[in-house]
Chain A
């Protein structure tokens, strides 16, 4: 997997969609996003400390992409549960909650002309975000807030991507 790292980006989804030569499983990873967004262009608060990345997905049919989107929430929740012993809750279709607060969000965007030209999956996981604004702190949390310790972003990123590769293999078989 090729990882392109950015200190700051407007949005990793935008970077991935603008990629001239989109190779499957290329990852765009930013330490912060200025204009992070989720479904229906709702803002995704993306300060330094969180894990924000977008993956160029291999060309698949639309049903598989939909399944993979739901499975991405499952893969993320599994890591939260197994590696950090927290109790995640998957808020379908594509959010993960811990203790009643949102911790991760997934967004898949497809670019479709005659056929699917490009599929990009973005994942935002509040890993080491230390605090949220007054408006958000009732609805959002992070691994650091829940665990009272810092987690390794790169390790989590690779685990999520590898988990997705496994899942895609299974569903496209």
Chain B
């Protein structure tokens, strides 16, 4: 495509053509190559998974209730079947036991705390 441009009383012959490497703009005898816009690399944000060990286990409240007793402390090593928490719920006393051997990493509830069904009580490692 050729066109004439008049700038401040001076005329320029401008030729614009598309080349493989980009757009060539020829003004008079001077050539300018405008490289094609490189496709921007879209950097997908790294989905940041919380660093956690897959051997970590959560002991959740099987039903809503009140924590009446906590039998363990953080750091305690527990065996499968060991009593962890006593949950008074639905007019019954529920002994929550550990389903595996492990170490009490975190206790997330306090005595007399009301908990919802599915709420994490203790994290075991």
Contact = CB atoms under 8 A, between A and B. Distances in A.
Contact of B91 (A93, A113, A114, A117): A93
A142 B89 CA distance: 29
B91 A70 contact: yes
Given A65-B90, A107-B93, A108-B91, 15 more contacts: A41-B68, A63-B90, A66-B92, A69-B91, A94-B91, A107-B92, A109-B92, A109-B94, A109-B95, A110-B93, A111-B94, A111-B95, A112-B62, A113-B99, A117-B97
Contacts, number: 52
Contacts of A65: 90, 92
A113 B88 contact: no
Contacts of A70: 91
B interface bracket (residues with beta carbon within 8 Å of A): 10 to 19
Interface string B29-50: 0000000000000000000000
B118 interface: no
A111 B94 CA distance: 6
B97 A112 contact: yes
13 contacts: A39-B93, A63-B90, A66-B92, A69-B91, A70-B91, A108-B92, A109-B95, A111-B94, A111-B97, A112-B62, A112-B96, A113-B81, A113-B99
